[in-house]
Structure 1
Amino acid sequence: MEENQWNVKLRDQRRRSRGALDLRIFCFTILLSLGAFLFLLFSLMVFRESFRPILIVPRISSSSAMAMSARDSRSNNNGGSHPPLKLYDQVVFPDHVLLIIHQNRVPTLNTHQLSCLYEHKLEVPSEILTLPVLSIDRDDESNLQIARCPLPPTSYSHPRLTSMANKPEGERSDDGDEERSVKLSEEVSPPHWETLVYEAMTDGDSVVVFAKGLNLRPDRASDPAQFLCVFGWNLSKPKFIFTTKAITAAQEVIRCSLPLSIKTKPSKSEGITVSIKTQTRGILASVAKLKNQNKHRREKPTYKHTMCVCTMLWNQAQFLKEWIMYHAELGVSRWFIYDNNSDDGIEEVLGPLRQAYNVTRRTWPWLKTQEAGFSHCAVQAQRECKWVGFMDVDEFFYLPSTSHSEGPPLIGILNEQAKEVGEVRTSCHSFGPSGHRRAPSKGVTVGYTCRLGSPERHKSIVRPRALDRALINVVHHFHLKPGFVFVDLPRGVAVINHYKYQVWDVFKAKFYRRVATYVADWHDKEREGSKDRAPGLGTEAVEPPNWAQQFCEVLDTGLRDYVMGRFMDTETRLLPWE
């Protein structure tokens, strides 16, 4: 009996000993793991200089308004921090991917400082493909920059950007120390251009929203009841968005009332995302951030300028100097240039001009949106411009009856208009190559002197306050509010010389694409015989025989003579734009 009790006690003691040993082993393992973790953490902190930082901005869905920052993780060790890069969104166009970037307090990045990176979706580890940026641009009126990347090759992701920040042009470090990377995540594919809300701006107690893909009829108002405007920092979360009803709807422009919270505190809503909700498609993808035009809403318009001009252009830099200098002589004092993806060195031309002329260049990457761009410009200009002309860079006002008048002649004509006149229309004469095979060195006004006999269409100068709230326009003219009328200026008072059919090397660029929404590109067979096309031309950019002598029915040297007498230096025989 005693022996059995002794054996039981011995077994219990052994169990307790083994339990204590297991507990000690367990505690030792925990301590060892904790030590290893702390050592690894310490190693990462001490030796992080050996790692190349690739920082990723999570993709903001197309309905999100919160842009995230990608900051250089090494900024505390290099004597100063890099300015933050913010990648707002991407848009997929037919021939490139547009990346919208925000970078404060730095000059425009150049193509040597950014690259487009693509990850192979099917390979592990993923193969990285690096391609050069197609172009980089910056807006005069914001901190936004845009980069254009090639479309991703098959099986590759949408691009992200790597930035060689603060490096001189053309210099890159071998170890990548200065390289930063930003991208949008792959959770939601970037929106395609065909259906997209792309701009939004306040206008008094309303917001004007610009959207592609609404498929509304041109030159007429549509039923606004089918649309709502949607506001929010993240439109994917319905609990945190506001909606308001549309007031007007026409073409690519929807006007809605502003939510009360934005009316009362407009500064806090700057940059909020705005979209359109339709009855059939829900909330549309949007990259439109609200731009507050109401900073001086309670003040009366200042009308600093009697006459301003809006234009939308693509690769027309060679004409800008002549166009701006000439129209300044007539009385134009403010220019709004909407640049539709130019790559012909437009900034090099505008830089010196800005020292003497009030010129603003707005980056406008949206394809075939001239009507919407003119509506945008009308809202933009209404507080500082009494009159605004909408014209192309190859169009020049000619005022025969005031050629020898004192003071700006165009201002005199506008000041004579009655208060109920909301729009002044001017006929256009279309000039041909006038025998030239190369662009005339003294400019278009002196070089081209032979034109068609009959005028084609017209262009307009409008009072922005007289425009209909729907902002309907067909490029050549706008719809007016009730109570306002338009007048046609006699051709003896004013006409536009439209240097439409220039030498072939200049003219053939029209075949690439056109900026108007409802006008077919010239390489398309649609409306091949319309007035929007050159007579006798097909859909291919092939120079027809005897092009230099075509479109020549009337010799017209009126504007040439005025320019030679008004602008030419009597000693050098040079014009100021030569």
Structure 2
Amino acid sequence: MRRKIRTTLLSNFVFVVLFTSFSFYLSRRVFFYSEEARPSLDAVRKRFNNVYMNLAIVEDKRNRNRRVYSLNEFSPDAILMPDWEVLLVLSPLVNHLSSDTRDDYFCLFQNNAKTPAKPAGLLPFHHLKTFKCILPNSVRRLRPFYQPILTRSLKYWPGNDSESPELLRWNLITYESLSTEDDVILFVKGVNQRQGRNRSPSELRCVFGNDVTNGVRTEVTSSFQEVFRCRRPYEGPLIRLFPRSEEKIKVTLEVGEEKGVVPSVAYYQSTPQMLIGEEKSLLCACTMVYNVAKFLKEWVIYHSKLGVEKFILYDNGSDDGLEDVVEELVQEQYNVKTLFWPWSKTQEAGFSHCAVYAKDSCTWMMYVDVDEFVYSPSWLSSPYPSNQMLKSLLPSTSSSPWSSSEVWIDQLESDRRVGEIMIKCLEFGPSNQSSHPIQGVTQGYTCRTNGEQRHKSIVLLEAVDESLLNVIHHFQLKEGYRVKALTNEQGVVNHYKYQAWSEFKAKFRRRVSAYVVDWKQAMNPQSKDRTPGLGFAAIEPQGWANKFCEVNDSRLKMATERWFGFNSSTGYKMIWQY
């Protein structure tokens, strides 16, 4: 009997030793790809309810004893953008795990195909890291598309498609949010799909929470284009759902029973996300940019010297060194701020965002593109530029020595009701240029079409309607405000629209406005948005270099040459060439 007991005890002891050793071995072999401490799986599943967290155990075929837990860092929210481009947005939970700046990541797809993943930028406010990669040709034939894994070493797909989330689609997604003192503004693709046809706010709800089933819902107060305004959620319910203050809360839109809850990569922030901390400027400029590094210095220096105090650039995913040019301008004391805005064809939404984001920092906002230069013909004889030139286009609202005059009082009252200055455009052609003029667009392009085209605007931000509705540089104004159109003698915009073919064809790939016809689609051939003589492919039309040349107009060329040119040891230069 004693021998039997000793044998049993010895067996149990050996079992405990072996079990402990094996457990220790596993604890050494199972780790996060980042080799940082991982939270418990139960905690992860409970916190994120497996809605926005994809947990997969992946076997590395190079070492069958090694198993890797892959969290959202490696299977992040991934969106299929136009032109088969995949944008990956890291979740807040693991955003810090990719603090390095190495660029040796790649996207691993469902058929084990992979493509390089390039760091794209930081989304504003929450500073979420993003990467871009191209969907391989071999994957494009498959259905459905599954979200790729972002990794450095994994060579094989996990092999469990049933647990893999499908690739998000750009045609239906909540891509950004902006909190104000009074409400939350969502930017959503695919709900209001046509210009002028907007869903009633009563059909919609805003949903706060990573678990959309039990999320906090609030009323939608405004629904126009891609912009939706929501009531702020009560903090109590959110705190009960998310007791940890550092937790990020997703926010999205619920569209009745037809579309359900829209997929989202946007997060809620309780504090207002406004541009503050600086003295309020009278005149700012806001635009959306893509690969304009070679043009930016000329545009900023010109408008700064004429009166723009602050520049806000919505970067649409540039990869031409734009950030280096911006840093150089900042070091030279130009006030230039960029927001990473990778969302394709969202110019109107970006302008709406800017109208709210900059409201506490700017009184008037000039909405013009980097290939557009504002001036008044009355300035062109001046020997020097003045920082009051552009401000002179704004309505007069200050007191005057003639304030007792009834005529002046009537004019002053009229000016107080002006909420937008409308300026007509003159469209310039290639002017026989075969490449970007080294002295700048104002010097290189001097031949234009006859007559004026679409207008651009300078907007009083406090006059912008709560809907934030705008159609390519023109805003809906609050009741009681009016638009003032300048004559061609008062002010015009030189729009260097049709540049040398090597520059113009880059526009063919990327149309930033959501409601402008895509040149690559064989539709609406008579649309005013289409370039005369240009087909549906980026093929240079015959005689392009001399097209759109009906009027020789060198007025701004001569003025900028006088204002910004100088003789150097290597010849005549413009100050933006340095």
Task: Determine if the alignment matches structure 1 residue 410 to structure 2 residue 384.
Answer: no
Q: Would the aligned equivalents of 1:450 and 1:551 in 2 still touch at CA under 8 Å?
A: yes
Q: Would the aligned equivalents of 2:76 and 2:149 in 1 still touch at CA under 8 Å?
A: no
Task: Determine if the alignment matches structure 1 residue 246 to structure 2 residue 234.
Answer: no
Aligned partners of 1:52 and 1:285: how far apart in 2? 27
Give unpaired runs (5+ residues) of structure 1: 1-16, 69-83, 121-127, 165-175
Q: Give the 3-state SS of the residue equivalent to 1:460 in structure 2.
A: strand
1:539 to 536, 541, 564: 536
Q: Would the aligned equivalents of 2:307 and 2:386 in 1 still touch at CA under 8 Å?
A: no
1:29 to 5, 11, 15: 11
Q: 1:47 to 1:501 in 2, by over 3 A?
A: closer
Q: 1:484 to 1:453 in 2, by over 3 A?
A: same
Residue pairs, 1:27-106, within 5 angstroms: 27-43=9-25, 53=35, 89-94=77-82, 95-101=84-90, 103-104=95-96
Q: 1:293 to 1:336 in 2, by over 3 A?
A: farther
Aligned partners of 2:247 and 2:453: how far apart in 1? 43
Q: Would the aligned equivalents of 2:208 and 2:217 in 1 still touch at CA under 8 Å?
A: yes
Higher-Rg member (1/2): 1
Give the match for residue 135 of structure 2. Answer: 151
Give the match for residue 358 of structure 2. Answer: 381
Aligned partners of 1:161 and 1:268: how far apart in 2? 28
Shift of 1:304: 1.6
Aligned partners of 2:217 and 2:514: how far apart in 1? 28
Aligned partners of 2:539 and 2:75: how far apart in 1? 42
TM-score normalised to the size of structure 2?
0.80
Aligned partners of 2:529 and 2:476: how far apart in 1? 21
Q: Would the aligned equivalents of 1:467 and 1:480 in 2 still touch at CA under 8 Å?
A: yes
Shift of 1:376: 0.8
CA RMSD of aligned residues (A): 3.7
Q: What percent identity do the matched residue pairs reach?
A: 37
2:450 to 446, 453, 459: 453
Aligned partners of 1:273 and 1:568: how far apart in 2? 52
1:137 to 98, 118, 121: 121
Give the match for residue 179 of structure 2. Answer: 202
Q: Give the 3-state SS of the residue equivalent to 1:354 in structure 2.
A: helix
Aligned partners of 1:259 and 1:384: how far apart in 2? 26
Aligned partners of 1:306 and 1:91: how far apart in 2? 39
Residues 74-131 of structure 1: CA distance to partner in whole angstroms, max 9, x if unpaired?
xxxxxxxxxx96976222324132111364599772423x2333465xxxxxxx6553
Shift of 1:225: 1.0
TM-score normalised to the size of structure 1?
0.80
Give the match for residue 555 of structure 1. Answer: 552
Q: Would the aligned equivalents of 2:75 and 2:148 in 1 still touch at CA under 8 Å?
A: no
Q: Would the aligned equivalents of 1:62 and 1:285 in 2 still touch at CA under 8 Å?
A: no
Q: 1:565 to 1:289 in 2, by over 3 A?
A: same
Shift of 1:285: 0.9
Shift of 1:546: 1.6
Residues 347-400 of structure 1: CA distance to partner in whole angstroms, max 9, x if unpaired?
222221121222122111111111111111111111100011112111111222
Shift of 1:204: 2.5
Q: Give the 3-state SS of the residue equivalent to 1:425 in structure 2.
A: strand
Give the match for residue 79 of structure 1. Answer: none
Residue pairs, 1:80-479, within 5 angstroms: 89-94=77-82, 95-101=84-90, 103-104=95-96, 109-112=101-104, 114-118=105-109, 120=111, 130-139=114-123, 142-151=126-135, 153-154=138-139, 158-162=147-151, 186-219=163-196, 222-235=199-212, 237-238=213-214, 241-261=215-235, 268=245, 271-279=248-256, 280-292=258-270, 294=272, 304-355=280-331, 356-403=333-380, 404=382, 406-414=386-394, 416=396, 418-479=415-476
Q: 1:305 to 1:111 in 2, by over 3 A?
A: same
Residues 287-322 of structure 1: CA distance to partner in whole angstroms, max 9, x if unpaired?
11124562789x9x9762111111112222211111
Aligned partners of 2:356 and 2:282: how far apart in 1? 16
Q: 1:520 to 1:264 in 2, by over 3 A?
A: same
Shift of 1:46: 7.7
Q: Give the 3-state SS of the residue equivalent to 2:574 in structure 1.
A: coil
- Structure 2: which amino acid aligns with 1:92? L
Residues 486-505 of structure 1: CA distance to partner in whole angstroms, max 9, x if unpaired?
10011111111000011111
Q: Would the aligned equivalents of 1:61 and 1:188 in 2 still touch at CA under 8 Å?
A: no
Q: 1:484 to 1:108 in 2, by over 3 A?
A: farther
Q: 1:203 to 1:516 in 2, by over 3 A?
A: same
Give the match for residue 577 of structure 1. Answer: 576
Q: Would the aligned equivalents of 1:141 and 1:362 in 2 still touch at CA under 8 Å?
A: no
Q: 1:302 to 1:321 in 2, by over 3 A?
A: closer
Shift of 1:31: 2.2
Residues 162-189 of structure 1: CA distance to partner in whole angstroms, max 9, x if unpaired?
369xxxxxxxxxxx9xxxx9xx994432
Give unpaired runs (5+ residues) of structure 2: 56-71, 398-414
Q: 1:449 to 1:244 in 2, by over 3 A?
A: same
- Structure 1: which amino acid aligns with 2:147? H
Residue pairs, 1:460-499, within 5 angstroms: 460-499=457-496
- Structure 2: which amino acid aligns with 1:111? D
In terms of mean alpha carbon deviation, does 86-95 or 220-229 score higher?
A: 86-95
Residues 201-244 of structure 1: CA distance to partner in whole angstroms, max 9, x if unpaired?
11231111111111344246642111111112432x41xx2111
